């Protein structure tokens, strides 16, 4: 190979009359962000979910460098994000978002509203498998939920196409005959995270010229001189006509896509037809397959062609509208086509596109045999050899073998003689976990009295979590949760919402939970657990559970779970189920790569609240979740920290008493995240202790509405300045720079204000 060194960034001399393009090594997520920044959308309403989260992160990096003006709104969940995007789009500007999997499903309800009321935007769907069990890797099970929502769906097979399709998508969305929101779908991890050589326009103006100025919207909610009613209550006979308009617009989108793609090809030389065809001219056997796997399969086609087999690949560049004519033309003369799909339509004798291909061929009475295979679910890798094997199915059918029409590819029965799971630990007995702590109520004062031994004696109480979990070195979750559980006696059932504690303790086929554990989703753990609690009590009432049996139900959630799950948590609190919600707050969405949560304090750096010329960390103060929960008038609310273990154990004991006798308990523990706080692994305990001593995170409890500060650093003469806490973390070091003095003072004032108010509540029984 030549050792020639190129200038960087490498620039390709533009062809005659073509705009200048740069060449870089970029991932799909980087290219989606790049396109969005160059388009300079007005608004992005977003919520983190793997593997699409990086799009917002890259845009935030560019935002703080001043490279775009997009207003980036961190939503309370994808349902909120979709609402933000919808609301913004009715105002006639440009709107952008990216999501995946559960996030897409959580916003799903809003998506037909947007297409039905005809407001354009561009949504990047970074495809990932839908739970459960939870899986973060790439397949198309989320995408298939989008087939019926009325959004045109463009596919992008590699990072280059992600960029190109994002520019094309906006033109399609805003076209006067279309006026529909558009999805650009690309493969999670395979395309979103892997880097390839890509080209993009050097000058933002080139992109601006291509997308043009924002077209005058036919309807806008921001023109008081032209009042308009958006989203009326529409019954029959009108509704079906609205839908027919929408149907026409969708088919028109297919034509507009072709027109725009041709214009784009003239600009760049990169052309996207409705289908990407590989060696289909005279093909006898074909694979119909989407996105990155279609690229991989090309190697198999080349190998088959070399041995005389006429093989080819059909891969659509858009699936809504379904490119009917193009599919008919491409496949009319093959003898057998295998539709390989990374999703299933359970019970449908083949996933969705199988039937669309079959219908297309049936319409022209083409004598083509259609095979259908589900493959690659949950990110199962797809190698060229796998494509060979799928072609092998086609060839087998041609040779008269008994080949099933529909099947799964790549499943394994498992070894029935093998020991299936690594041996676990014997179940904890009630005796082992009881007898350490006692709680009784002082009948004269109504206050609970807790007797708990020291930490040494409590080492005899078995942990509810076994070692061997995969959390980072120095993770604060487990000392926090385990210290709390030291105060809980007897049998427990835990529910973890999605987050670090969940993924690091339950990576199949291992579990670190010695007690029964349940996971549902990111946001509705409180609802889920309340259902289980009521099932327990009803079974008990019916005599289906022995009288002596008692279970304490504990939900464990991160601060992210309390953002997206605030509604269900408040619902459970207002219904006052006998359960405990324990929130471990590490001040961000650490499981997805340290995006800001509402609990991230003012000024703190996260991957979506960056530090740079145009940003100095999070722009609004942290959420006071204990006060929100206290306002639900539940029997007991507390805060705690591993740095004050006896305090936390006492509160755990009280929490259990209240959860048994009265109703819902909420507690928040502040825990360290060395990785994303950018602090040494060994300093977690010291840092959360400093957060308590500087009064950022006061230790207190609210018992039947009465606030008691359980550790008062001021009264003890142990209060430290806020900066003594902030200086210990890389994420806050910028706040101590002289130029950020005003920011620091603003933060200190907020800490002080909340502390004074808490003191007042502590001192006055009616507050």
Partner 1 sequence: MNEPSVQNAHSFLEIRMESIGGLGANLAAKILSESGVLRQGWNGWYAASYGSEKKGTPVKAFIRFAPPEVEIRGTYPVDEPDVVAVFHEALLRSPSTLSGLRPGGTLVVNTKRSPDEVRRQVKRADIHIACVDALGIAHREGARLNTAMLGALCHVVPQLDPNAVRSGIEEVFSERYAHLLDANLRTFEGGLAQVREAQGTGGDASGLDKAPQSRVSPVLGYKTQWIGGAIPSAGNSVARDLSASRQGFIPALDLDACIHCAACDQVCPDACFVWESRDNGRGRVFQYLVGIDYQYCKGCQKCVVACPTHALSTIAESDAYVLEHRVAHRLHEREVNIR
CB 368 within 8 A of CB 335: yes
Taking the CA of residue 529 as centre, how many other CA atoms within 13 Å lie in the half-sphere pointing to its CB?
A: 39
Neighbours of 589 (CB within 10 A): 31
For partner 1, the closer of residues 71 and 472 by Cβ is 472
Taking the CA of residue 440 as centre, how many other CA atoms within 13 Å lie in the half-sphere pointing to its CB?
A: 5
552 sits near partner 1 (criterion: CB under 8 A): no
- Of residues 500 through 539, those in contact with partner 1 by CB under 8 A are 500, 503-515
DSSP state of 598: T
Task: Out of 16, 227, 306, 308, point to the residue binding partner 1 (CB under 8 A).
Answer: 306
Task: Out of 422, 548, 717, 738, point to the residue binding partner 1 (CB under 8 A).
Answer: 422
Q: Given the rule CB under 8 A, which of 99-107, 316-324, 329-337, 497-505 is the region that contacts partner 1?
A: 497-505
Draw the binding track, 71-110, toward partner 1 (x: CB under 8 A; -: no contact).
----------------------------------------
Question: Minimum distance from CB of 497 to partner 1 (Å)?
Answer: 15
Distance, in Å, from the CA atom of 65 to the CA atom of 228, rounded to the nearest integer, reads 38
- Of residues 699 through 758, those in contact with partner 1 by CB under 8 A are none
- Of residues 429 through 488, those in contact with partner 1 by CB under 8 A are 429, 431-432, 454-460, 462-463, 465-479, 482-483
415 sits near partner 1 (criterion: CB under 8 A): yes
407 sits near partner 1 (criterion: CB under 8 A): no
418 sits near partner 1 (criterion: CB under 8 A): yes
308 sits near partner 1 (criterion: CB under 8 A): no
Distance, in Å, from the CA atom of 754 to the CA atom of 686, rounded to the nearest integer, reads 22
CB 729 within 8 A of CB 666: no
12 sits near partner 1 (criterion: CB under 8 A): no
406 sits near partner 1 (criterion: CB under 8 A): no
Closest C-alpha among 159, 151, 124 to residue 53: 124
Q: Given the rule CB under 8 A, which of 148-156, 224-232, 321-329, 674-682 is the region that contacts partner 1?
A: 674-682
Task: Out of 413, 543, 548, 765, point to the residue binding partner 1 (CB under 8 A).
Answer: 413
- Evaluated on CA atoms 569, 573, 576, 581, the torsion sign reads positive
**Number of residues in the chain:** 767
5 sits near partner 1 (criterion: CB under 8 A): yes
662 to each of 439, 580, 621, 654, 682, how far by Cα in Å?
14, 11, 33, 11, 39
With CB under 8 A, what is the number of residues at the site for partner 1?
A: 116
Nearby residues of 634 by Cβ (< 8 Å), 6 or more positions away:
573, 576, 663, 664, 665, 666
For partner 1, the closer of residues 189 and 210 by Cβ is 189
Distance, in Å, from the CA atom of 172 to the CA atom of 180, rounded to the nearest integer, reads 8
Draw the binding track, 125-144, toward partner 1 (x: CB under 8 A; -: no contact).
-------xx--xx-------
Question: Minimum distance from CB of 279 to partner 1 (Å)?
Answer: 10
166 sits near partner 1 (criterion: CB under 8 A): no
Question: Minimum distance from CB of 96 to partner 1 (Å)?
Answer: 24
Distance, in Å, from the CA atom of 82 to the CA atom of 247, rounded to the nearest integer, reads 22
Place of tokens 């008038």: 633
Q: What angle do CA 562, 100, 246 make, to 5 degrees?
A: 115
Draw the binding track, 221-260, toward partner 1 (x: CB under 8 A; -: no contact).
----------------------------------------
DSSP state of 108: G
Closest C-alpha among 297, 304, 369 to residue 331: 369
Task: Out of 34, 94, 140, 193, point to the residue binding partner 1 (CB under 8 A).
Answer: 193
Place of tokens 């009630």: 430
- Of residues 364 through 403, those in contact with partner 1 by CB under 8 A are 381-385
């Amino acid at each position: 190979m030549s050792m020639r060194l190129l200038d960087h960034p490498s620039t390709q001399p533009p062809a005659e009359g073509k705009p200048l393009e740069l060449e870089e090594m970029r991932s799909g997520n980087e290219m989606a962000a790049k396109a969005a920044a160059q388009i300079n959308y007005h608004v992005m309403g977003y919520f983190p979910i793997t593997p699409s989260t990086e799009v917002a992160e890259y845009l935030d990096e560019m935002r703080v460098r001043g490279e775009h003006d997009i207003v980036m709104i961190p939503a309370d969940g994808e349902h909120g994000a979709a609402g933000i995007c919808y609301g913004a789009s009715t105002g006639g500007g440009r709107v952008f978002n990216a999501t995946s999997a559960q996030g897409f499903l959580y916003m799903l309800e809003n998506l037909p509203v947007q297409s039905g009321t005809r407001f354009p935007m561009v949504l990047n769907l970074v495809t990932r498998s839908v739970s459960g069990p939870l899986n973060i890797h790439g397949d198309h099970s989320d995408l298939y939920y989008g087939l019926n929502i009325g959004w045109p769906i463009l596919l992008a097979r590699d990072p280059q196409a992600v960029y190109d399709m994002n520019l094309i998508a906006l033109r399609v969305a805003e076209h006067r005959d279309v006026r529909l929101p558009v999805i650009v779908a690309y493969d999670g991890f395979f395309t979103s995270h892997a880097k390839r050589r890509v080209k993009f326009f050097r000058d933002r103006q080139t992109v601006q010229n291509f997308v043009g100025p924002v077209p005058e919207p036919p309807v806008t909610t921001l023109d008081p001189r032209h009042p308009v009613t958006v989203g009326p209550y529409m019954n029959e006979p009108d509704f079906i006509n609205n839908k027919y308009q929408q149907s026409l617009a969708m088919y028109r989108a297919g034509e507009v896509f072709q027109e725009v793609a041709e214009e784009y090809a003239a600009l760049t030389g990169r052309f996207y037809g409705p289908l990407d065809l590989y060696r289909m001219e005279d093909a006898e056997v074909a694979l119909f397959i989407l996105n990155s796997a279609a690229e991989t399969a090309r190697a198999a086609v080349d190998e088959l062609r070399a041995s005389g087999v006429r093989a080819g690949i059909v891969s659509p560049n858009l699936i809504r509208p379904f490119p009917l004519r193009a599919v008919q033309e491409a496949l009319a003369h093959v003898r057998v086509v295998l539709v390989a799909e990374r999703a299933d339509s359970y019970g449908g004798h083949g996933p969705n596109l199988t039937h669309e291909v079959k219908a297309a061929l049936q319409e022209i009475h083409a004598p083509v045999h259609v095979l259908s295979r589900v493959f690659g679910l949950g990110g199962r890798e797809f190698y060229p050899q796998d494509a060979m094997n799928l072609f092998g199915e086609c060839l087998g059918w041609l040779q008269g073998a008994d080949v099933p029409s529909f099947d799964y590819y790549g499943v394994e029965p498992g070894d029935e003689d093998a020991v299936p799971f690594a041996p676990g630990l014997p179940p904890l007995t009630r005796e082992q976990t009881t007898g350490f702590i006692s709680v009784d109520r002082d009948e004269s004062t109504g206050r609970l009295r807790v007797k708990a031994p020291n930490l040494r004696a409590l080492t005899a109480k078995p942990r509810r979590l076994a070692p061997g979990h995969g959390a980072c070195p120095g993770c604060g979750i487990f000392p926090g949760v385990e210290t709390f559980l030291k105060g809980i006696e007897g049998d427990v059932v835990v529910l973890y919402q999605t987050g670090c504690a969940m993924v690091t303790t339950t990576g199949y086929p291992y579990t670190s939970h010695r007690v029964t554990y349940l996971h549902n989703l990111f946001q509705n753990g409180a609802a889920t657990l309340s259902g289980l609690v009521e099932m327990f009590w009803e079974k008990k009432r019916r005599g289906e559970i022995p009288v002596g049996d008692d279970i304490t139900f504990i939900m464990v959630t991160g601060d992210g779970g309390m953002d997206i799950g605030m509604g269900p948590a408040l619902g459970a609190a207002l219904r006052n189920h006998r359960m405990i919600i324990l929130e471990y707050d590490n001040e961000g969405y650490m499981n997805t790569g340290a995006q800001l949560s509402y609990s991230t304090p003012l000024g703190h750096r996260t991957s979506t609240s960056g530090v740079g010329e145009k940003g100095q960390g999070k722009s609004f103060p942290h959420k006071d979740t204990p006060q929100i929960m206290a306002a639900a008038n539940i029997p007991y609310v507390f805060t705690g920290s591993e740095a004050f273990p006896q305090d936390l154990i006492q509160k755990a004991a009280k929490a259990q008493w209240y959860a048994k006798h009265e109703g819902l308990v909420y507690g928040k523990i502040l825990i360290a995240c060395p990785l994303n706080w950018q602090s040494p692994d060994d300093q977690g305990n010291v840092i959360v202790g400093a957060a308590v001593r500087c009064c950022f995170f006061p230790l207190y409890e609210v018992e039947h509405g009465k606030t008691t500060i359980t550790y008062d650093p001021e009264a003890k003469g142990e209060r430290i300045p806020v900066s003594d806490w902030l200086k210990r973390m890389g994420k806050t070091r910028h706040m101590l720079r002289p130029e950020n003095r005003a920011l620091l003072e603003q933060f200190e004032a907020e800490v002080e204000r909340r502390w004074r108010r808490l003191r007042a509540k502590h001192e006055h029984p009616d507050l």
